Amino acid sequence: MIDAAGLALPLPAAGDQDAGVSAAEPSLPPLPVLWRRVPTGRVLAFAPHPDDEVAGPGGVLALHADQGDAVRVVVATDGTSGDPDGRHAPGALAALRRRESQDGLRHLGVRDVRFWGFPDGHVLSEADLQNAAALAARELAEHRPDVVYLPWELDGHPDHHRLHVVVTRALAATGFRGLALGYEVWNAMVPDVIVETTAVFPRKQAAMLAHASQIAYTQYDHCLGGLSAYRSLVHLRGRGYGEALRRVSGALPAALAEPT
């Protein structure tokens, strides 16, 4: 995750703020479908920082692992911005965050994780984006996923946004024909799918707590647990837990949609 406070985020231009109320009626988004199961197949999940793989699609990845899918996680950055008070020795934090990611994923039943090790919070040039997209394309070619998870397009943190751009470029470049789904961490989305994660939610919480270096700063388990509880609102009568997903490419399998 890495708290975005203090980062220079783009603000609307003054002209945008003064534009007044639009006369166009907003269109009503369709209700998300409910999945109590996830699609079967090979899974590749891209995380901007060590912990986003849990915070975003952690319950979904546990469901994939439990049904025997080959799940691989790729963590793009080294997470070294996640220690603003300098509590850990320089150089040790990246290794610590890798271990926390591996420990957290073990709670979810996932052992296949790769770390690209890019510095986080880094302003990527166009050349950097192209190099990262080439890396993502290689991951797609090696793992041959049927389902890809990535940060959704408006997740609101610069690193999350960049990884969305990187992965969607790679999906396009490789002619990916499977299903790509965005997950939420920093900004709640208008979802296409709610996945019920009630049965695996305790494991997601345990996986979040494995990221002790981050929980020491921010109660991510509380916040993201709250988001999972909130996602039970639309289809689950506010009971249990869910995770929201938004389609990036491919067709949602109609057979998974539960009558509600």
* 59 touches Zn ion by CB under 5 A: no
H-state helical runs in 144-174: 158-173
Contacts of 200 (CB under 8 A, 6+ apart): 59, 62, 63, 66, 108
Binding mask 105-124 for Zn ion (x = CB under 5 A): --------------------
Q: Which of 32, 33, 38, 52 touches Zn ion by CB under 5 A?
A: 52
Q: How far apart (Å, rounded) are the C-alpha atoms in residues 149 and 78?
A: 19
Residue 235 as a binder of Zn ion (CB under 5 A): the answer is no
Q: Is 49 in the site for Zn ion (CB under 5 A)?
A: yes
* DSSP 8-state class, residue 252: P
Q: How far is the CB of 132 from Zn ion (least distance, A)?
A: 15
Torsion angles phi and psi, residue 230, rounded to 5? -60, -35
Instruction: Kindly determine how many residues on this chain lie close enough to bind Zn ion according to the rule CB under 5 A.
Output: 5
Which residue from 32, 39, 48, 79 is in contact with Zn ion, where contact means CB under 5 A?
48
Closest distance between Zn ion and the C-beta of residue 97, in Å? 11
Least Å from the CB of residue 66 to Zn ion:
25
Give the contact letters, 1-40, x = binds to Zn ion (CB under 5 A), - = no. Answer: xx--------------------------------------
Considering only CA atoms, give the Rg of the chain: 18
> With CB under 5 A as the contact rule, which of the stretches 47-55, 60-68, 134-142, 251-259 interacts with Zn ion?
47-55
Q: Within a 13 Å sphere around the CA of 235, how many CA atoms are in the beta-carbon half? A: 24
Contact yes or no for 183/57 (Cβ under 8 A): yes
CA distance 137 to 89: 34
Closest approach of Cβ 91 to Zn ion, in Å? Answer: 21
Q: At what angle do helices 201-209 and 58-66 cross, to 10 degrees?
A: 120
In the complex, the residues that contact Zn ion under the rule CB under 5 A are 1-2, 48-49, 52
